[in-house]
Each structure stands twice: as structure tokens, then as C-alpha cells.
């Protein structure tokens, strides 16, 4: 399911602008003497997974300094996990990266709750070099050389690749050898398979596994994107970003990432991991800052979680724009009425909305909710 918040009138999407600026920067920074290039891919550089974190479960509302409290909690957790070195290495990695790319700074370092994943990948120099090397190769002659021409480099460096098997599934492995158009690949389960080189795609370095934002991946191919989303989902991180778009995967279970504590955390920018609250927060801030109407578009197949996600977005906006009159409470209650009349059980969803809806929430100049308008339309 995809969500994106955007001003009503945009000539060019921010994703396009971001890609364009990255493309221009790559042009300027292109090094001269480099190993063979990889195939044409989106030109974004690999970035440090700046927010390798899980949602805090012990976040305290009303802390004088929420960020400080959460950072302390993060440090404590980190040390309990026996990963004391992780933060230091990550800082070193950040410093190394800043050196490599001049003025580039890690995003919002001071406000990020910097928790490593349980069992997450710690950073070491070898992995850092691997990422840098991949990116240098990419920017060397992006688009001029075919991926098949670089298989030798992947064999030599023992880099991981994705391999599409006969049943259509992607498996990761390492190329052992090639012969003509065929390659022998050692899969992670220990099996060696013979596949056509056309069924191989480059895999991202381990260090990039589970990044918050898909644009941080060095290779944006199908298996890499799916693997990243699955990696996060299996750790109850149901939200990921793809630039300005939020990807939500229905957990079909209660995940403890909603409610007042988390609303406060996103409001205070103590947390910035991908979340529908962050989308609603951006929309609210843009509206207040620029005085421009904002839209949050939620799309996905039946049962993907659109209705639930819309409710969470409304919950966040109600918390932000709630006033003394309690109108936000009335707006939230409309969901029950709409569902009572318009929902039905289907083979895909026990509580399927059999209609589409456009919910307008009106705010006063002071950012307080002053009204709402809900339009429904018949589903197909």
C-alpha cells in the first residue's frame, strides 16, 4: 500500500527533483580511474542507514527532554544487547562517509532515536568499503556497460547476487563460475544451481539490509526492494519509505506502534522512522507553514489496510488539531457510522469498505480542527 502527502498543485514531484539533484551531483563527483561499471540503475548513492532503529516500547510521555530520554534508552538497550561497539562504529562510518563525500551530513543525527536492530548488522570497515566500492563502480560508467560484462568482478570480489530460480522465486547467492550465457551460483542454502546470466541481478551489501528508505539501496531491482521490505516486515517494521512515498504492509496483528506515546514522539521529532504519523505530521506542518491545502492519498488492494491507515492518520491530525470543542472526536466517530452502513465481509477482507471516500478535514488559521466534509462514492 502506498501513501504520499503532497501539496494540491505540484508541477514536478519532489522525488523527481531529488533524483535530478543526485544525478547532477554524481556528474560533478564522478571519479576518473575506476573498476568496471555496473548496469544502469537509479543514480542515488548508497547512504548510511541513518535510522537503524526499532520503535521504543518504553518511551515516556511528558519527559522534559524526550529526545534525551530516548537516546539514553537506546544506549542502554544497545549495551544490553552486547553491541556497545555498534554506535561507535556507526559514528566512525558516518565520519568516513562525510570525508568521502565532502559536506554531506547524516540526516538529523541529533534527533534520531538511534537504536540498532535486534540482531542487526553492525558496521565494519570491510562492509563500508564494499558499499563505497559498489557506488564508485556505479557512478563510473553508469549505463554504458551491461551487467553481464561485470559478472567477473562479482565473482572475484565474492559479491552477492540475486538469482531467479525456475519457480520464479529470487534467492541470493554467489556466482562460482560462468560459461557462455550460463552461471553456476552457490545459493545461501548451500545448493549450487545453473542459471542463465539473464536471471541474475546484483544484490546490495549486507550493510544496507533493512534500510528505512528504499532510495538508500545501491541497487533498486525487484528482489532487493522486496527483500528490504520483507526484512523490515519480519521485524514488525511495517512501514518503509520510497522517497516521499510511504509503503505500509498490513501486519494483520496488533503492533505496538500507535497511540499517544508515539504521537508525541513524532510530534516532537524524537522519532523519524517511517510511519503514517510522520506522513500526517509532514502534511500538517506544510499546511501550517505554507498555508497550502495538503492531500494524503492512500491506495492499495482490498485488505491492504487503507481504512486502518486512514484512521491512524486522522487520529494523529485529531491529536494535533484538537480543540476544546471536541469536534475532532466527532470526526473520528464518523468511521463507525460509515463502516456500519458501507462495509461487508469479502473473501479478501472481513471488514471491506464497499465504497471509496474523500475525507476533508478543515483547520483554522491556528491549526485547530474546525470542520470536516466526507464524500463517499460507490465501489465497483
Kindly state whether residue 300 participates in binding ligand ATP, applying the rule CB under 6 A.
Answer: yes
| Euclidean distance between CA atoms 238 and 250, whole angstroms | 7
Kindly state whether residue 240 participates in binding ligand ATP, applying the rule CB under 6 A.
Answer: no
Cβ 45 to ligand ATP shortest distance, Å? 32
Nearest to 51 by CA among 278, 283, 356: 278
Kindly state whether residue 250 participates in binding ligand ATP, applying the rule CB under 6 A.
Answer: yes
Q: Are 296 and 280 in contact (CB under 8 A)?
A: yes
Count of residues for the chain?
Answer: 380
- Kindly indicate which of the ranges 121-129, 134-142, 160-168, 301-309 contains the residues binding ligand ATP, using the contact rule CB under 6 A: 301-309
Which CB atom, from 259 or from 367, has the smaller least distance to ligand ATP?
259
- Kindly indicate which of the ranges 104-112, 179-187, 326-334, 345-353 contains the residues binding ligand ATP, using the contact rule CB under 6 A: 345-353
The residue within the footprint of ligand ATP, chosen from 251, 319, 338, 362 (CB under 6 A), is 251
- Kindly indicate which of the ranges 106-114, 174-182, 247-255, 357-365 contains the residues binding ligand ATP, using the contact rule CB under 6 A: 247-255
Count of CB atoms within 10 A of residue 168's CB?
6
- Kindly indicate which of the ranges 54-62, 117-125, 135-143, 295-303 contains the residues binding ligand ATP, using the contact rule CB under 6 A: 295-303
Nearest to 48 by CA among 94, 111, 79, 88: 94
Q: Are 114 and 91 in contact (CB under 8 A)?
A: no
Kindly state whether residue 274 participates in binding ligand ATP, applying the rule CB under 6 A.
Answer: no
Residue at shortest CB range from ligand ATP: 305
Query: CA distances (Å), 352 to each of 134, 136, 339, 345, in order?
Result: 45, 48, 9, 6
The residue within the footprint of ligand ATP, chosen from 142, 352, 363, 369 (CB under 6 A), is 352
- Chain centre to alpha carbon of residue 191: 32
Q: Are 46 and 218 in contact (CB under 8 A)?
A: yes
Kindly state whether residue 278 participates in binding ligand ATP, applying the rule CB under 6 A.
Answer: no
The residue within the footprint of ligand ATP, chosen from 191, 196, 230, 302 (CB under 6 A), is 302
| Euclidean distance between CA atoms 328 and 326, whole angstroms | 5
The residue within the footprint of ligand ATP, chosen from 181, 351, 364, 367 (CB under 6 A), is 351
Count of CB atoms within 10 A of residue 343's CB?
16
Contact positions with ligand ATP (CB under 6 A) in 304-323: 304-308
SS3 breakdown of the chain: % helix, strand, coil, rounded to 5?
Answer: 40, 20, 40
Contact positions with ligand ATP (CB under 6 A) in 117-156: none
Kindly state whether residue 252 participates in binding ligand ATP, applying the rule CB under 6 A.
Answer: yes
Q: Are 209 and 121 in contact (CB under 8 A)?
A: yes
Kindly state whether residue 342 participates in binding ligand ATP, applying the rule CB under 6 A.
Answer: no
Cβ 268 to ligand ATP shortest distance, Å? 22
Which CB atom, from 206 or from 301, has the smaller least distance to ligand ATP?
301
Interior CA angle at 207 toward 206 and 208, to 5°?
90
Contact positions with ligand ATP (CB under 6 A) in 19-78: none
Residues that bind ligand ATP (CB under 6 A): 250-252, 254-255, 300, 302-308, 349, 351-353
Amino acid at each position: 500500500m502506498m501513501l504520499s502527502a503532497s501539496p494540491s498543485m505540484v508541477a514536478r514531484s519532489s522525488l523527481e527533483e531529488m533524483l535530478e539533484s543526485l544525478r547532477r551531483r554524481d556528474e560533478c563527483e564522478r571519479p576518473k580511474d575506476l573498476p568496471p561499471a555496473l548496469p544502469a540503475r537509479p543514480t542515488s548513492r548508497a547512504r548510511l542507514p541513518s535510522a537503524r532503529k526499532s520503535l521504543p516500547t518504553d518511551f515516556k510521555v511528558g519527559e522534559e527532554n524526550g529526545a534525551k530520554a530516548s537516546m539514553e534508552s537506546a544506549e542502554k538497550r544497545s549495551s544490553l544487547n552486547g553491541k556497545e561497539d555498534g554506535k561507535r562504529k556507526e559514528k566512525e562510518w558516518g565520519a568516513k562517509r562525510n570525508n568521502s563525500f565532502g559536506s554531506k551530513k547524516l540526516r538529523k543525527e541529533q534527533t534520531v532515536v538511534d537504536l540498532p536492530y535486534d540482531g542487526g548488522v553492525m558496521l565494519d570497515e570491510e562492509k563500508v568499503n564494499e558499499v563505497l566500492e559498489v557506488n564508485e563502480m556505479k557512478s563510473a560508467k553508469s549505463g554504458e556497460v551491461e551487467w553481464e560484462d561485470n559478472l567477473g568482478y562479482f565473482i572475484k570480489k565474492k559479491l552477492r547476487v540475486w538469482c531467479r530460480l525456475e519457480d520464479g522465486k529470487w534467492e541470493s547467492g554467489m556466482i562460482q563460475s560462468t560459461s557462455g550465457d550460463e552461471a553456476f551460483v552457490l545459493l545461501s542454502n548451500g545448493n549450487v544451481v545453473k542459471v542463465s546470466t539473464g536471471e541474475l541481478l546484483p544484490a546490495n551489501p549486507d550493510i544496507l539490509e533493512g534500510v528505512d528508505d528504499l532510495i538508500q539501496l545501491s541497487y533498486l531491482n525487484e528482489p532487493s526492494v522486496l527483500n528490504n521490505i520483507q526484512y523490515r516486515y519480519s521485524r514488525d517494521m511495517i512501514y518503509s519509505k520510497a522517497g516521499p512515498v510511504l509503503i505500509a504492509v498490513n501486519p494483520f496483528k496488533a503492533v505496538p506502534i500507535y497511540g499517544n506515546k508515539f504521537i508525541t514522539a513524532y510530534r516532537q521529532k524524537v522519532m523519524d522512522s517511517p510511519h503514517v504519523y510522520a506522513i500526517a505530521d509532514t502534511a500538517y506542518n506544510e499546511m501550517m507553514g505554507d498555508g497550502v491545502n495538503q492531500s494524503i492519498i492512500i491506495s492499495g488492494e482490498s485488505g491492504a489496510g487503507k481504512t486502518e491507515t486512514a484512521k491512524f492518520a486522522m487520529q494523529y491530525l485529531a491529536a494535533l488539531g484538537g480543540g476544546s470543542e471536541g469536534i475532532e472526536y466527532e470526526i473520528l466517530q464518523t468511521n463507525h457510522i460509515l463502516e456500519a452502513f458501507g462495509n461487508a465481509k469479502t473473501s479478501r477482507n472481513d471488514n471491506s469498505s464497499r465504497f471509496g471516500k474523500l475525507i476533508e478535514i478543515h483547520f483554522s488559521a491556528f491549526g485547530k480542527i474546525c470542520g470536516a466534509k466526507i464524500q463517499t462514492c460507490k465501489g465497483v
